[in-house]
Amino acid sequence: MTVKPDKREEIISAALELFAEQGFHGAPMALIAERAGVGAGTIYRYFENRDVLIRELYQELEETITPFILEGYSEAAPFRARFLHLGTRLLRFFIEYPLRFRYLEQFHNSPYGIAHRRDKMLGDEGRCNVFRELFDQGAAQQVLKDLPLAILFNLAFGPLVAVARDHVLNFITLDEPMIVKTIEACWDAVKR
């Protein structure tokens, strides 16, 4: 017998592909099952229902981001350098894992994402503590513009996500220098 073909993993991965490529609409459970090489009923042994599958997939993806962007990160580096590091890493993550990026996008622009966002806001401490910490510190040191945190976030991440989307959809092609220049431009937007 070959290595156990972990069914849960197969399902997650099939769901990621299909949701990312076709949207939530274009990915009925039967198709996910087929792509995962699994009976339709089997999915329900691992996920209570469709919604749970969608949300658990989101959780798993979100958790892969932080370790990725933190690679090579130094708390000791100057503020600007840290900003640029996290920004470029994040953009590279999106580009390197286009399916995950597309999925995260789908999720965020859906009732799931909005509910999720609202919950996160209420539980005052947002996730992505890395960014949160960085921005808090930047505000304290007055290296960032005097704007609400939420707006600073959007100034930094809005373009980043937009650019990643255009790249992933093949509307533009980002190379390494362009990534850096883009993040530097984001820095110009937030720096005082």
Partner DNA sequence: AGTAAAAGAATGAACGTTCATTCCGTTTGA
Partner DNA sequence: TCAAACGGAATGAACGTTCATTCTTTTACT
111 binds, among DNA, its own copies, none (CB under 5 to 8 A by kind): its own copies
28 binds, among DNA, its own copies, none (CB under 5 to 8 A by kind): DNA
151 binds, among its own copies, DNA, none (CB under 5 to 8 A by kind): its own copies
Decide if residue 189 touches its own copies (CB under 8 A): yes
* Phi/psi-derived region of residue 66, left when phi > 0, alpha when psi is between -120 and 50, beta in every other case: alpha
Decide if residue 49 touches DNA (CB under 7 A): yes
- At 98, list the tokens: 């286009």
- At 175, list the tokens: 């190379």
- At 180, list the tokens: 């850096």
Q: Which x/- pattern over 9-38 shows residues binding its own copies (rule: CB under 8 A)?
A: --------------x-xx------------
Q: Residues with Cβ < 8 Å from 125, sequence gap 6 or more?
A: 132
Decide if residue 45 touches its own copies (CB under 8 A): no
Report the C-alpha gap between 85 and 71 in whole angstroms. 9
User: Is 54 in contact with 62 (CB distance < 8 Å)?
Assistant: no
Q: Which stretch binds its own copies (CB under 8 A): 47-55, 66-74, 85-93, 144-152?
A: 144-152
Q: Which parts of this chain interact with DNA (CB under 7 A)?
A: 1, 7, 27-30, 37-42, 44-45, 49-51
